Amino acid sequence: MQPAHRLHAPDLRQSDALSLGVLVPDLLRWVLVHFDGATLAGLFALSEGPAGLPGGLRRDLDAFARARERELFDLPDGDALQAVLADLAALPSGAVPARLREAIRRRGRRDGDSPATAALLARLGAAWEAVQPDPVVLPSGPVWGLPVSRPAVPDRLKAPDERTGRRLTSQVPRPPAPVRDERRDVWIREEVLDRLDAHREQGLKESVLVAGAVRRSPWPDLEESEVLAVLKVLRQEGEVRATSGRWIRVKRLGW
Residues 105 and 194 placed together within one structural domain of the fold: no
In a domain, 135, yes or no: no
In a domain, 146, yes or no: no
Q: What is the pLDDT of residues 59-106, one digit of tens each?
A: 999 999 999 999 999 989 999 999 999 999 999 999 999 999 999 999
Question: Please, what is the average pLDDT of the chain?
Answer: 82
In a domain, 172, yes or no: no
Are 47 and 61 in contact by the 8 Å Cβ rule? The answer is yes
pLDDT mean over 189-218: 88
Residues 117 and 215 placed together within one structural domain of the fold: no
Q: What is the C-alpha separation between 192 and 227, in angstroms, rounded?
A: 8
Decide which of 129, 161, 193 is a domain's last residue.
129
Provide the number of structural domains found in the chain.
2
**Residue 233 belongs to a domain with what CATH number?**
1.10.10.10
In a domain, 238, yes or no: yes
Residues 125 and 211 placed together within one structural domain of the fold: no
Q: What percent of the chain has pLDDT over 70?
A: 80
C-beta atoms surrounding 60 within 10 Å: 20
In a domain, 140, yes or no: no
Residues 6+ apart with CB under 8 A from 88: 37, 40, 41, 96, 100, 104, 124
What is the predicted pLDDT for the residue at 148?
Answer: 32
In a domain, 155, yes or no: no
Are 31 and 40 in contact by the 8 Å Cβ rule? The answer is no
Q: What is the pLDDT of residues 107-164, one digit of tens each?
A: 988 888 899 999 999 999 999 998 999 998 888 654 333 333 333 445 554 555 555 5
Residues 114 and 19 placed together within one structural domain of the fold: yes
Q: What is the C-alpha separation between 186 and 181, in angstroms, rounded?
A: 10
Residues 17 and 124 placed together within one structural domain of the fold: yes
In a domain, 141, yes or no: no
Tell me which residue range forms the domain holding 191: 183-249
Residues 125 and 187 placed together within one structural domain of the fold: no
In a domain, 166, yes or no: no
Residues 17 and 81 placed together within one structural domain of the fold: yes
